[in-house]
């Protein structure tokens, strides 16, 4: 092998439709390809594409490090096509040390995200349901997709679809996807910058579907706990949502606490109290603190607390009611 070349295994992944998750890198026996280590990868892309006879549009392609670690597929760094392989020192070292690692030809992130968003916005019924269901898995499988999704207004896309549907399963799939997205710094920062998303998370607390409400409460708790300033962002979102409806701020949460039928699902009560305490604890200024706490009090918080204190749940195998009491004592 010439010192000007480096031979390693190559494969392609047919991911032009990001929602087809059953595809795997091909061929199963990867051929070896001699990369010119000092030549920009963009100048070698067509040759790699041809060697693999890949069913991908060459103009949409990029390269990524990939390796199979037992049963686990590890998708590594994307290669900068404007640079040579020699300029990717860490990736080149990995390829040299791990003979089972491959350079993977696949669709660019921006193209895949554009396809995702277009499909979500333009699909209906079963196709939309499937796309929303798979979105969490897409984020889980590729953290780089999260960054690109946020940058391409993906959050606005999800909020639009969510606002256009009354189907609670769709809403739950969107919440699951948001939950996965918020695990990543880029995803959480995207939510922080998108108050529309926070407004929507609060608004679905009035949906009447307990699974949806619990999931949203958990995400809002994570959101507020992530950074102190997020309590103010949630407060702003609440003011917008309830102000547009000419209702008292935080009425969605107070409606959950005040609905005695929700005692059948103590987690719903618990998450509501945790969110309230988390927000109050994180509010940095006294004026906002009293505005928020006064709103709770005006909507009957003390009566709700006294009801739970006077009517303890006798069979509480999960310890949930005990935690509710602790949260209510913390509130007081």
Pick the CATH number of 195-332 from 1.25.10.10, 1.10.260.40, 1.10.760.10, 3.40.30.10: 1.25.10.10
Delimit the CATH 1.25.10.10 region(s) of the chain: 195-332
Residue 1 has pLDDT above 60, yes or no: no
Q: Is the Cβ–Cβ distance between 12 and 105 less than 8 Å? A: yes
How many CB atoms are located within 10 Å of the residue 261 CB?
Answer: 6
The CATH architecture assigned to 5-107 reads Roll (3.10)
- Mean pLDDT of the chain, nearest integer: 94
Q: What is the pLDDT of residues 255-294, one digit of tens each?
A: 999 998 888 889 999 999 999 999 999 999 999 999 999 9
Segment 193-216 mean pLDDT: 97
Q: What is the pLDDT of residues 211-259, one digit of tens each?
A: 999 999 999 999 999 998 999 999 999 999 999 999 999 999 999 999 9
Segment 293-311 mean pLDDT: 95
Segment 100-106 mean pLDDT: 95
Segment 80-89 mean pLDDT: 95
pLDDT-above-70 percentage for the chain:
99
* pLDDT for residue 313: 81
pLDDT band (50, 70, 90) for residue 135: very high
How many CB atoms are located within 10 Å of the residue 53 CB?
Answer: 9
Delimit the CATH 3.10.20.90 region(s) of the chain: 5-107
Segment 287-309 mean pLDDT: 95
């Amino acid at each position: 092998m010439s010192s000007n070349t480096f031979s390693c295994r190559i494969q392609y992944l047919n991911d032009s439709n990001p929602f087809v998750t059953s595809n795997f890198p091909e061929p199963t026996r990867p051929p070896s390809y001699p990369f010119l280590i000092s030549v920009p990868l963009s100048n070698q892309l067509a040759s790699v594409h041809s060697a693999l006879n890949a069913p991908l549009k060459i103009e949409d392609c990029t390269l990524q490090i990939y390796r199979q670690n037992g049963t686990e597929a590890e998708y590594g760094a994307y290669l900068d096509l404007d640079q040579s392989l020699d300029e990717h020192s860490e990736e080149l070292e990995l390829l040299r040390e791990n003979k089972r690692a491959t350079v993977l030809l696949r669709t660019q992130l921006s193209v895949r995200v554009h396809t995702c968003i277009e499909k979500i916005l333009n699909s209906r019924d079963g196709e939309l349901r499937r796309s929303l269901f798979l979105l969490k898995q897409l984020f889980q499988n590729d953290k780089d997709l999260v960054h690109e999704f946020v940058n391409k207004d993906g959050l606005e896309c999800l909020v639009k679809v969510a606002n256009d549907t009354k189907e609670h399963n769709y809403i739950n799939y969107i919440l699951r996807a948001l939950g996965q997205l918020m695990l990543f710094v880029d995803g959480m920062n995207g939510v922080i910058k998108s108050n529309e998303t926070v407004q929507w998370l609060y608004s679905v607390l009035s949906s009447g579907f307990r699974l949806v409400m619990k999931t949203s409460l958990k995400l809002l708790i994570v959101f507020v706990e992530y950074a102190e300033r997020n309590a103010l962002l949630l407060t702003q979102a609440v003011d917008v949502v309830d102000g547009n409806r000419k209702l008292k701020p935080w009425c969605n949460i107070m409606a959950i606490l005040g609905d005695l039928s929700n005692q059948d699902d103590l987690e719903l009560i618990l998450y509501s109290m945790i969110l309230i305490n988390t927000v109050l604890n994180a509010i940095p200024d006294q004026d906002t603190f009293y505005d928020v706490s006064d709103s709770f009090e005006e909507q009957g918080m003390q009566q709700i607390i006294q009801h739970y204190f006077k009517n303890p749940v006798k069979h509480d195998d999960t310890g949930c009611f005990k935690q509710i009491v602790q949260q209510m004592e913390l509130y007081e």
